[in-house]
Amino acid sequence: MSKYLTEFIGTFFLVLTIGCTVIPGAAGVIPPLAIGAALMVMIFAGGHVSGAHYNPAVTLAVFIRGRCESKDVIPYWIAQVAAGVVAAVVAVWLVGKSGTPMEIKNVPAAFVAEFLFTFALAYVVLNSATAKGTTGNSFYGLAIGMTVMAGAFAVGGISGGAFNPAVALGVAVMKLVSFSQIWLHLVADLAGGLVAGLVFKFINPGDK
């Protein structure tokens, strides 16, 4: 139960940070920096308990890679999605308003952006936090948080920069994206996690 609570807490603070910086329209570089930092510190806080996935796509990648038991996949997903929704409600309450939905005009471009950077995120997680060659390192949280930060800077204006189905649901609840368009986040992000897991296994066949 402790690892599921850890997943809830980490995902909650990630989505809360998104809401409290993006809804009020924090200037310039603040939201990507804050979001990357929030993910980094929560990974360092919870990595030793749950693996600090905080993302259904990452959980899928770690499962495909062979470092997440099948019995934990659905409970992890439930904890992550529930945290995303609860954090969204709390963020709207704290800020005092919901956001303005982003209009995704180029759906194919948004889909590809979400897929590529979710792949990058899951690939970094697998190689920095689960690979034998990087066992015991002290940088994995920074590497993962900065991947999300880089993705937010690079394609946030194209897709919204979720890279995480739980985040996508949370930002939809906060009305930062339209519910009618979050399917592209859900599908692209899970596909990115799946492909990252398969690519890791191909590149590292001896790393079980």
Residue 26: per-residue pLDDT? 73
Query: Residue ranges per domain, the chain?
Result: 2-203
**What DSSP character marks residue 177?**
B
Q: Is the distance from CB of 19 to CB of 91 less than 8 angstroms?
A: yes
pTM, whole model, 2 decimals? 0.96
Query: For position 208, what pLDDT does the model report?
Result: 81
Integer distance in angstroms from the first to the last C-alpha of the chain?
Answer: 25
pLDDT of residue 187: 98
Superfamily (CATH H level) for 2-203:
Glycerol uptake facilitator protein. (1.20.1080.10)
DSSP per position, 95-131: HTS----B----HHHHHHHHHHHHHHHHHHHIIIII-
> What per-residue confidence (pLDDT) applies to 107?
96
**Could you read off the pLDDT of 80-131 as tens digits, one per residue?**
999 999 999 999 999 999 999 998 999 999 999 999 999 999 999 999 999 9
Q: In 3D, which of 32, 30, 16, 42 has the Cα closest to residue 171?
A: 16
Within the chain, which residues score under 50 in pLDDT? none
pLDDT of residue 120: 98
